[in-house]
Structure 1
Amino acid sequence: MRELPADMVLPEGMVPAEPPAVPVVPRDAATVVLIRDAPTGPEVFLQRRVTGMAFAGGMTVFPGGGVDRRDADASVAWAGPEPAWWGRCFDCDPALATALVCAAVRETFEESGVLLAGPDATSVVADTRPFADARKALEKREVSLAQFLAESGLVLRADLLRPWAHWITPAEEPRRYDTRFFVAVLPSGQRADDVTSEASDASWQTPAAAIDDWRQGRRGLMPPTWTTLADLDEFDSTAAVMAAERTVEKIIPKVVRRGGKLHVILPGDPEYTTAAAHLDARPDDEVGRR
């Protein structure tokens, strides 16, 4: 597993002084890493979450969000790998797999205007502007994804997505998500925008440039975002990304306090098996000897 930078820290308010006695049950969620080819290599679509949001306010993230109960509607028009295949990729049952893929498509449309759907199993919408009102209705939960697709004569294109990663929020945090990460290429003719109330700005960047912005203090990145960017930086085209063979393993980070700051540690770190919570702090010199 990729090692996190030693200077990566979490905002102090992200973890309470007294973590929950019983860890909060994480909510299922889906995140989609949109990619496109550029002269300098693949670029990713990134959004800076509005400061003050309950979860990850001010941080730079990929589009995504929690699963809505209606995302599990099995009547959704579907093209591509069946839910059972997605369930094997993400180690879940077909019903949850259906909900995750639907949430991925819905959240991507809501937050970026990119619609991974088309009139049939071999085409994709090139201009999403005619669906602007439907996008607002989805955001307000006035319609479900299945309803929107049926009324618009569209088919969900599950084949445009690839499984990428699976992260679960550390047990020390009060808001937790069980998030499956997908990758998808920006469909030809479509554009990703920043027309969402959840982001203060949005832009395309190469993974290396986004990581450099984090290093220079211009972006805040959480471990899953940084790790995904670092992984994608190894590819020279979107075709290579989409063709990559990934074994998706569940990653549950832990949080420790070092030098008065909150650090995330991942499985494989020497401290991982002994770290119970960030409140179990040790003197800095003891940490340094491990």
Structure 2
Amino acid sequence: MRDLSSQLLTGRLAEVALDYARGLRTPADPRPASTVILLRDGSAGPEVYLLRRQQTMAFAAGMTVFPGGRVDATDATVADSWSGPAPEWFGERLGCSAETAAAYVAAAVRETFEESGVLLAGPSADSVVDDTTGADWEADRVALESRELGFSEFLHRRGLVLRADLLGPWAHWITPEFEPKRYDTAFFVAALPAGQVTRDVTSESDQVTWIRPADAVAAVDAGQVLMLPPTYVCCDELAAYDEVAAILDAAGERTIRTILPTVRIDGDRAYLETT
């Protein structure tokens, strides 16, 4: 495992970090976002679902990531389609208001559906949609992705409730201040619902895979895969568990600390510090 507590920045990131340290850049406000670590039990232990972002993406191009994205305005309007722990509980775990927490959870469910075809919602508080591969589901997924359809409207129209109880808060990271695009991101863990399958559907990625967390970490260490620190750290933490149920149990007891990496300048070199 790599030590990510201090990383030498190179290329564009180094240039941007040095400009920031010299007072040539003003920090952008971080936008709220959500990420879901989708899990399933494999023959050799838990596996995570990862996507490689297109090289043309403005943020994290070419990086291997979990499904996720920024919070949308309609994500804050799903209160009447909610099942599970109250937003206040999520807010206490993530260190934010109940309103912000509700938007994080809604964005997590929406983005997971948009980027993998997996929907953490069902017709009742104790059920989950068992198949989202039909043409009608795909039409709704595309409409959500293009923002032609709001998430609340989608849930109402289909008579679904968001299953917040299927999500476990896992981490909270904020993009470093020197980055031109910044996100305040809540990370959740969730098991792949029975009957559902992931699909390579999002236009934002060019490759998807199910992989053991330890193998993902090894691929990064070998220089075969690129990951941002939050994804790498989460994979490394998950490698310690033998089954998905244990990960979900751990999420219920886990203490979450907001991590905001900083920059250390040494001469003409910039280092990313994560403590």
Provide Cα deviations, 1:169-204, integer angstroms capped at 9, x if missing partner.
011111110001000000011111221110010000
State the partner residue of 1:242: 248
User: Aligned AA for 1:104?
Assistant: A
- Percent pairwise identity: 49
Q: Secondary structure at the match of 1:129?
A: coil
State the partner residue of 1:12: 11
User: Aligned AA for 1:220?
Assistant: L
Residue 11 of structure 1 and its aligned partner are, at CA, apart by 5.5
Are residues 53 and 257 of structure 1, via their aligned partners in 2, closer, same or farther at CA, if it must alter by over 3 Å? farther
Provide Cα deviations, 1:34-79, integer angstroms capped at 9, x if missing partner.
0100110000000000013111000100000000111111444111
Of residues 216, 227, 230, the one that matches 2:233 is 227
Cα distance in 2 between the residues matched to 1:261 and 1:229: 28
Provide Cα deviations, 1:86-132, integer angstroms capped at 9, x if missing partner.
11111111111111110000000001111000110001011012311
Q: Do the aligned partners of 2:5 and 2:274 also contact (CA within 8 Å) in 1? A: no
Task: Say which is worse superposed, 209-218 or 112-121, in terms of deviation.
Answer: 209-218
Q: How does 1:129-144 map to 2 (within 5 A)?
A: 129-130=133-134, 131-144=137-150
User: Aligned AA for 1:255?
Assistant: V
Q: Secondary structure at the match of 1:138?
A: helix
State the partner residue of 1:275: none
State how many pairs are aligned.
Answer: 266
Tell me the TM-score normalized by structure 1: 0.86
State the partner residue of 1:199: 205
Runs of 4+ in structure 1 off by over 6 angstroms are 258-261
The gaps in structure 1 that reach 5 residues or longer are 268-290
State the partner residue of 2:195: 189
State the partner residue of 1:77: 81
Of residues 64, 67, 84, the one that matches 1:63 is 67
Of residues 97, 100, 112, the one that matches 1:96 is 100
Cα distance in 1 between the residues matched to 2:228 and 2:269: 14
Q: Does 1:125 align with 2:129?
A: yes
Q: Do the aligned partners of 1:23 and 1:172 also contact (CA within 8 Å) in 2? A: yes
State the partner residue of 2:261: 253
State the partner residue of 1:107: 111
Q: Do the aligned partners of 2:87 and 2:101 also contact (CA within 8 Å) in 1? A: yes
Which protein has the bigger helix share? Answer: 2
Q: Do the aligned partners of 1:58 and 1:220 also contact (CA within 8 Å) in 2? A: yes
The gaps in structure 2 that reach 5 residues or longer are none
Cα distance in 1 between the residues matched to 2:146 and 2:34: 18
Cα distance in 2 between the residues matched to 1:120 and 1:261: 55
Cα distance in 1 between the residues matched to 2:79 and 2:236: 37
Are residues 63 and 118 of structure 1, via their aligned partners in 2, closer, same or farther at CA, if it must alter by over 3 Å? same
Q: Do the aligned partners of 2:38 and 2:49 also contact (CA within 8 Å) in 1? A: yes
Cα distance in 2 between the residues matched to 1:121 and 1:112: 22
Cα distance in 1 between the residues matched to 2:10 and 2:212: 25
Residue 264 of structure 1 and its aligned partner are, at CA, apart by 2.2
Cα distance in 1 between the residues matched to 2:92 and 2:205: 33
Task: Say which is worse superposed, 252-261 or 101-110, in terms of deviation.
Answer: 252-261
Provide Cα deviations, 1:229-258, integer angstroms capped at 9, x if missing partner.
010001000000000021111100013467
User: Aligned AA for 1:154?
Assistant: L
Q: How does 1:207-218 map to 2 (within 5 A)?
A: 207-218=213-224
Cα distance in 2 between the residues matched to 1:230 and 1:239: 17
User: Aligned AA for 2:201?
Assistant: V
